[in-house]
Amino acid sequence: MSQHTPTPHNGAKPGDIAKKVLMPGDPLRAKYIAENYLENPVCFNTVRNMFGFTGTYKGKPVSVMGGGMGIPSIAIYSYELYHFYDVDQIIRIGSAGALQDDVMLRDVVIAMGACTNSSYASQYHLPGTFAPIASYSLLAKAVENAEKSGVRYHVGNIFSSDVFYADDPSESDLWRRMGVLCTEMEAAALYMNAARAGKEALAILTISDHLYRPEALSAEDRQNSFHQMMEIALEI
């Protein structure tokens, strides 16, 4: 870490990263987005192979960077982007498992709120329970873009879990009965970091599997289905 690279996890110098960052979990997906959607992309980070790129989309600067799996990973990268690189908006784009019967494979979920079983909020010493929510302005634009694209979409609550292989799988039933749309592993921390920094965040998710039906997309299907989600995010 030096005066030119303010964090040990990111090789970018101040000014290398745009005000808006798209953040998939997979760094190779970040590379794919940069190479297929951005004009003149430049790689700003290869530290830990968490690739990050900055280019333009329809003439406007935008960056894309991997965020990793789980709350601790996205929490580190998003915190540093907000606080050390002056990023204003982070849009998580990723996959999720459906909890509700009317949420289908390939549907897009725009996360208005993110429940969690993580203790991440405990660091703020709040005298109650914090509700991690999205930026309304980003959410409204995402809904508008989803309408234009004609994709099936849902807006509502999601669940950000610290656990992928749950010891008690029936816990999903409890979130399901509260109307939670789907489960993933990152959005709640992103929303909390944004709130604490006074910045904006949104999670846009593509349903890749269903927790109550034997349905799942193949790797190839995931890649093809995620195009709509990427374009909704880029158009914001």
| All structural domains of the chain with their residue ranges | 20-234
Q: Which helix (H) or strand (E) holds 97?
A: strand 89-98
pLDDT greater than 90 at residue 195: yes
Distance CA 149, CA 152 (A): 9
Catalytic residue among 16, 101, 209, 221: 209
Are the C-beta atoms of 211 and 99 separated by less than 8 Å? Answer: yes
The more confident residue out of 2 and 207 is: 207
pLDDT greater than 80 at residue 230: yes
- Cα-Cα-Cα-Cα dihedral of 172, 178, 181, 185, to 10°? -50
What angle do helix axes 71-84 and 187-197 make, rounded to 10 degrees?
20
pLDDT greater than 60 at residue 2: no
Opening angle at CA 160, ends 228 and 147, nearest 5: 25
Task: Give yes or no: 86 in active site.
Answer: no
Query: What average pLDDT does this structure show over 158-172?
Result: 96
pLDDT greater than 60 at residue 201: yes
* pLDDT given at position 161: 98
pLDDT greater than 70 at residue 27: yes
Query: What average pLDDT does this structure show over 53-57?
Result: 98
Distance CA 59, CA 122 (A): 41
pLDDT, tens only, 175-191: 999 999 999 999 999 99
In this structure, which CATH number among 1.10.1040.10, 1.10.645.10, 3.40.50.1580, 3.40.50.800 belongs to the domain 20-234? 3.40.50.1580
Classify residue 15 as exposed, middle or buried by CB count within 10 Å of its CB (0-12, 13-18, 19+).
exposed
Query: What average pLDDT does this structure show over 71-78?
Result: 98
Opening angle at CA 204, ends 200 and 206, nearest 5: 170
Q: What is this structure's pTM?
A: 0.96
* pLDDT given at position 1: 45
pLDDT greater than 60 at residue 194: yes
**What's 13's DSSP letter?**
P
Least confident of 1-5, 218-222, 228-232: 1-5
Least confident of 1-10, 88-97, 136-145: 1-10
pLDDT greater than 70 at residue 41: yes
Q: What is the mean pLDDT of the chain?
A: 96
Confidence of residue 3 (pLDDT cuts 50, 70, 90): low
- Which residue, chain included where needed, has tokens 């694209």? 149
Are the C-beta atoms of 206 and 95 separated by less than 8 Å? Answer: yes
What angle do helix axes 136-149 and 219-234 make, rounded to 10 degrees?
120
pLDDT greater than 80 at residue 141: yes
| Number of helices and strands in the chain (H, E) | 6, 10
Query: What average pLDDT does this structure show over 107-126?
Result: 98
Are the C-beta atoms of 65 and 28 separated by less than 8 Å? Answer: no
